[in-house]
Each structure stands twice: as C-alpha cells, then as structure tokens.
Amino acid sequence: MADAASAMRWRQRLGLGVLVSASVFTLLPVAAISPLLSTIAAHFGAGGLGALKAQSIITLSGIGMMVGGPFAGWLGDRIGARRLLLIMLALNGLAGSAGLYLTDLTALLASRVLLGVSAVGIASASYLMIASRFQGAARARMLGYQIAVIAIAGVACLLASGALAAAFSWRAPFGIYLVAFVALALGVVSVFPEPPVRQVEGPKAGSGKALLRMWPVFAMIVPLYLAAHMFVLQLSFVLAGDGIASPVTQSRIMTALMAMTFFSGITYGRIFEKAGARWTFALILLLMGLADVVLGLTHGAGAAVAACVLSGFAGAAAPPYVINLVLSRAEPHVQGRALGLMYMAMYLGDFINPLVINPIRAALGNHMAFTIVGLALVGAAVLRAVLPSKAPAAVTIETA
C-alpha cells in the first residue's frame, strides 16, 4: 500500500509538471520556425512571393489558434480535459513535424492550421485542469509558472532551431515538434486534477446565455492584447527609424523582453496574492502604458531597453491575469468554451494591431503611435484603480 501511495504521488507530481509545461506548445509554432523564414523563403522562390509563402507558415498557425479556440473549448466540455490534452498532443506532434517530410506547400500550410488548433487545445486543457485543482492565489502562481517556463523554452527553442538548420537543413527544426509525443507519453502515465465531465440539464443547459454574459470580458481582451503586442509587432520599426537597423542590435535590445517575461512569471502569483485582482490589473495597464510612453518620448538603445523591461514584465503578467479572470467568471459547464473564446479574442487583438497602429505610424510617426497607446493605457489604469469593482463572485469547480 505504501508503494502504491508513493507511485500515485509521483504520477500526480508528473501530471502537474505536464500542465505547467503545456503552454509551451502555444510558443512553438512561432519560435521553432521564425529564425528560418529567410531560408524557407529562398527554398520556395525568390522575391516577395517566396517570403509570403514562408511567412504563411507562421501566420496560418496563428489563424488555427484563433479559429480553433472555440472548437477546442467545445470539445473539452464534452470529452473532458484529460482526453482533450492527450488528443491534442498527438495532433500537435503529427502536424508540427509535417515539415520534415511534406513537400507540397498546400499540405504543409494545412498542417500549420492543425498545429494552431492543437496548440490552443493543449493550453485550454491545461487551464481547465489547473482550475480544478487550484483556486485564488495558488491558481495565479501556477499560471505564472507557465509563463516562466515559456520564457525558458523560448530561448532554448530559438537556439535549437538555428543550430539544427545550420547543421542539417531548414526542415530539421520541424523535428522540435516531436517533443509533443514525449509529453503525450508522460501524460498517459500521469494523474491529472481533472474536473468531471458534466451532463448539464435544465436551466443550466443554456450555455449560450452563460457565455453571452461574459461578453464584457472578451471585449476587454481584444484591445488589451492589441496593446500588449505593441513591442512585438512595432518596436523594430521604431528602432530602425532611430538608426538602430542592425538585426543583431535589435535582437539584443529585445532580449530584455524575454528576461522580464521569466521574472514576471515567477513573481506574478505573489503579486496577485498581495494586491488582489483589481490592483494587479491596474498595475499591468500602468506598466504597459509607461513602457509605451518611455519609448514614445525618448530615443536610443538605452531607453528602448528600459521600455522593454517595463513591457516584458507587464506583458507576461497579462496572460495569467486574463486566464484566471475567464476561469473565475465562467460557469463550470462552459469553462472550456469560454477559454476558446478567450483565445479568439487574444489573437484577434494581435491580428488587428497592424491594422490600427500602422495608419497612426504613417500619419504621426513611430514614436507618437507608442505615446498615444501609452497614454490610453495609463488612463485605463487610473480608471481601473478609481472605479469600484463590480465583478461577480468567482465560479468554482467542484472536484470529486
């Protein structure tokens, strides 16, 4: 009996390790391929057409995440989070590694859409199971640890991708996605804190109404993620306009973002526990805004690094805050679908950032675009701090 209890504890710890690492799969569609874009472009043809084909390998995985979020959430609510996790890990390994052997571009691009769907499915399943085990500050710490793991994995993946491509070919880094099968094997033998699959009857069956009541949350996520992606999508243009055009110099400046992502993930749970949801969100908005204002009103590499430090800390805190918010507001029988809609809102904000910001940059300049967004965020932070919170009580999941 003692041996059986020890084995069970080991399997439970292994399961928590899988859950903390699961969000890495939302990073891999970009991190494993982005260093290879110019090489892939040369393979598919010279000029802008080749570049477009190469970029589509990344953008289509993002589209898969955006449109696959609701589907993955719907499936998770019906078959359970553990089954969703295992199915999506298998799909991720198959679709991600397709670049090792597919020669037809159309088939490769289709596999990237499936990769995006599987990535958001893995993440959603992990959030559901974390929510079933942890509440309040403990849940915030777990979600923060996921962000810290993403930061470490991001650096490792970028380095591995470049090394594999240099040693073999542009196809070799697609082998990184085979790690999904390792996670699948670990998931099979693990014990997860999974909520029971519920058969909803009567008034609670109105899942559409339950999700509709959350529309303010989803509406808030879109502009939040539009702002959160300012440095990812727009910083390079600001630096180039200031005469810092070298990719090497730009990448060194941007490493501050990744470093602060790790620090933010490690400390997020403690900040949430001390400050509470209201003031945590106000702090996120304030630091995001200050980062944009600093970059907008200053010039030079030193100021850009300082802005990246602020943006990296705030931007890394945004995902665990939003995930925790959605899990707290959603009724138990629609949490999977709520997470799917959350992902759609996140990637919608990412998608429309260039559509909104590029015209502002063209009309007023690179720095003014950041200043405008920054002032809007600071104003939102002040409002969040001043206005009373009207958040409903959190909805919790009963565990067996």
Cα 15 to Cα 31: distance, rounded to the nearest angstrom = 25
Q: Of 160, 190, 220, which one is at a domain's C-terminal end?
A: 190
Query: Is residue 105 domain-resident?
Result: yes
Query: Is residue 360 domain-resident?
Result: yes
Least confident of 18-32, 119-133, 380-394: 380-394
Query: Is residue 138 domain-resident?
Result: yes
Q: Which residue has the higher pLDDT, 269 or 395?
A: 269
14 and 117 both lie in a single domain: yes
> Residue 183: pLDDT band by 50, 70, 90 thresholds?
very high
304 and 381 both lie in a single domain: yes
Is pLDDT of 88 > 90? yes
Q: Of 190, 225, 257, which one is at a domain's C-terminal end?
A: 190
157 and 229 both lie in a single domain: no
Distances (CA, A) of 67 to 71, 104, 346, 347: 8, 23, 11, 9
pTM over 0.75: yes
Q: Which two tokens stand for residue 18?
A: 């899988």
CA angle at residue 65 from 67 to 227, to 5 degrees? Answer: 100
The confidence score (pLDDT) of residue 113 equals: 92
Query: Is residue 2 domain-resident?
Result: no
CA angle at residue 362 from 361 to 364, to 5 degrees? Answer: 65
Query: Is residue 392 domain-resident?
Result: no
CATH of the domain at 287: 1.20.1250.20
The confidence score (pLDDT) of residue 127 equals: 87
131 and 184 both lie in a single domain: yes
Cα 393 to Cα 387: distance, rounded to the nearest angstrom = 18
41 and 114 both lie in a single domain: yes
291 and 331 both lie in a single domain: yes
Cα 318 to Cα 380: distance, rounded to the nearest angstrom = 14
67 and 156 both lie in a single domain: yes
226 and 153 both lie in a single domain: no
Is pLDDT of 180 > 50? yes
In contact, 313 and 263? CB cutoff 8 Å:
yes
Three-state DSSP at 135 gives: coil
The confidence score (pLDDT) of residue 398 equals: 34
Total tally of structural domains belonging to the chain: 2
Q: Across 55-64, 122-131, 180-189, 229-238, which has the greatest mean pLDDT? A: 180-189
124 and 253 both lie in a single domain: no
168 and 222 both lie in a single domain: no
Query: Is residue 395 domain-resident?
Result: no
- Among 217, 224, 240, residue whose Cα is nearest residue 373: 224
Q: Which residue has the higher pLDDT, 51 or 368?
A: 368
Q: Which value, to the nearest 10 degrees, does the dihedral of the CA atoms of residues 212, 215, 218, 219 take?
A: 150
Query: Is residue 153 domain-resident?
Result: yes
Query: Is residue 201 domain-resident?
Result: no
Task: Provide the domain limits for residue 367.
Answer: 207-387
17 and 159 both lie in a single domain: yes
